[in-house]
Amino acid sequence: MAGVSLKCGDCGALLRSVEEAQEHAELTSHSNFAESTEAILNLVCTTCGKPCRSKTESDLHTKRTGHTVFVDKTSEAAKPISLEVPKATAESNQAGNASTSQPEEMVVPEVDKKLLEELEAMGFPTARATRALHYSGNAGIEAAVNWVVEHEDDSDIDQMPLVPVNTKFEAPKPSLTPEELKVKQQELREKARKKKEEEEKRVEKEKEKERIRVGKELLEAKRIEEENERKRILALRKAEKEEEKRAREKIRQKLEEDKAERRRKLGLPPEDPSAVKPSPVVEEKKSSLPVRPATKAEQMRESLRSLKQNHKDDDAKVKRAFQTLLTFVGNVARNPDEEKFRKIRLSNQSFQERVGAFSGGIEFLELCGFEKIEGGEFLFLPRDKVDMAVLNSAGAELDSAIKNPFFGVL
């Protein structure tokens, strides 16, 4: 495909012709140009017809005029570029090269000092004000300010401009009386002040909106956290009450058995069951409600109770086993995607000392979803079988078993 532009290899600027490339080289001292198939952007304002060669230029035009609608005519303006140097330009370059072999001396251009002082009084740096007056042709304060607005994103905006030493300064023709000039300057200052205030108000408004949004998110997160904590505490309390109720019933049954044993040793006849007032608990057992199957949480609780009763002579090791199981469950709940937390080697010495040696420990992990694999060498919980509700129930039962002094007493 034929090239449609020249691209500066030093700064990336796209140029329409060899003449533009030469002008760019004179202004920037860049010399690395290459033919490019990338077309120069041509955004035409539908309101005033001004063509813009970049998105930045169209944004500046919108900022200055308020015009927001542009038509992309890049494809219409794209034409194969000619790499031939115009004859007149070539001849002038040859003449220039023949006339001197040394680079021409460059100096700071002369500008209208009064206009320069006015721009400095408005807060513009000397270099920026000088550049604005020079490139706007010393046409006046408003023209210089407009030039600054259009070129405020230029990388060299605050560099002092340089021109050949023989460049003549032409003073601008006065078009306004001193009184009109003062009024115009005052209007420009007022406009700049209002623009700055509006920008500050807009920024402050955006900051306030962001603070409100962040505040709402923090409040909502705190509310959800408190609600989850409240539910967890209620669940723990309910489990503890149920455990205490079962413990009291077992104690009552044990007392009845001891009482019957003492009557037997004393040779007394067994107590007439009809004369014994049924307890509220017995009445509850005579209810006609159907017996529901044991839930997963109840199976876990029974597994832990069996483990403690089978090893009731070594309470410290039982507690350590509960804490180890709680660590396994917690690691999976917090990192369900980490396989290392979902795979346990049964032959591991630490696992055997803490859990494997206790009857009921491996069974509890299987209730949590772990499965024996590779001939029973490992316990593994597949990722698709990780059930957060089951893991939360397991954590609650283990926490209750560790903290409840009545757990597994009988």
The tens-digit pLDDT sequence of the chain (410 residues) is 456 777 787 787 777 777 777 787 877 777 777 777 777 777 888 888 888 877 788 888 888 888 888 888 877 766 776 665 555 555 555 555 544 445 667 788 888 888 888 888 888 889 888 988 888 888 888 888 888 888 888 888 888 888 777 665 555 445 556 777 678 778 888 888 888 899 999 999 999 999 999 999 999 999 999 999 999 999 988 998 898 899 989 898 988 888 888 878 777 777 766 655 555 544 444 444 555 566 888 888 888 888 888 887 788 888 899 899 999 999 999 999 998 899 999 889 889 888 888 888 888 898 999 998 888 889 999 999 899 989 998 998 888 888 887 776 65
What does residue 373 show for φ and ψ, rounded to 5 degrees? -130, 170
Which is it for the CA torsion 319, 324, 328, 333, positive or negative? Answer: positive
Q: What is the pLDDT of residue 82?
A: 65
Same domain, 86 and 144: no
CB-based contacts of 33, cutoff 8 Å, min separation 6: 6, 7, 8, 9, 15, 21, 25
Helix (H/G/I), strand (E/B), else coil: 120:
helix
159: containing domain? 106-175
Same domain, 78 and 147: no
Position 368 in a domain = yes
Element (H, E) at 51: strand 51-52
Position 249 in a domain = no
CATH number of the structural domain spanning residue 347: 1.20.58.2190
Same domain, 334 and 367: yes
Element (H, E) at 347: none
Same domain, 87 and 132: no
User: Judging by beta carbons within 10 Å of its beta carbon (0-12, 13-18, 19+), is residue 78 exposed, middle or buried?
Assistant: middle
* Domain final residue, candidates 128, 144, 175: 175
Q: How far apart are the first and last CA of the chain?
A: 90
What does residue 18 show for φ and ψ, rounded to 5 degrees? -65, -35
Distance CA 274, CA 268 (A): 17
Amino acid at 218: L
Position 131 in a domain = yes
Same domain, 305 and 395: yes
- Strand ranges across the sheet with 14-15: 14-15, 5-8, 33-36
- Contact, 44 vs 51, CB < 8 A? yes
Same domain, 127 and 75: no
Q: What is the pLDDT of residue 285?
A: 45
How many domains does the chain divide into?
A: 3
Position 212 in a domain = no
Position 270 in a domain = no
Q: Which value, in Å, is the radius of gyration of the alpha carbons in the chain?
A: 44
Tokens, residue 357: 């040696």
Pick the closest to residue 5 from 51, 27, 13 (CA basis): 13
Which is it for the CA torsion 372, 374, 377, 382, positive or negative? Answer: negative
Q: What is the pLDDT of residue 282?
A: 44
* Domain final residue, candidates 137, 156, 175: 175
Position 49 in a domain = yes
Q: What is the pLDDT of residue 59?
A: 85
CB-based contacts of 104, cutoff 8 Å, min separation 6: 164, 165
Position 247 in a domain = no
Same domain, 301 and 347: yes
Same domain, 93 and 113: no
CATH number of the structural domain spanning residue 148: 1.10.8.10
Percent of the chain that is helix, strand, coil (3-state, to 5)? 60, 10, 35
Distances (CA, A) of 312 to 12, 315, 408: 80, 6, 9
Position 239 in a domain = no
* Domain final residue, candidates 147, 175, 203: 175
Same domain, 39 and 121: no
- Contact, 20 vs 53, CB < 8 A? no
Q: What is the pLDDT of residue 274?
A: 62
Same domain, 32 and 64: yes
Same domain, 346 and 385: yes
Same domain, 86 and 142: no
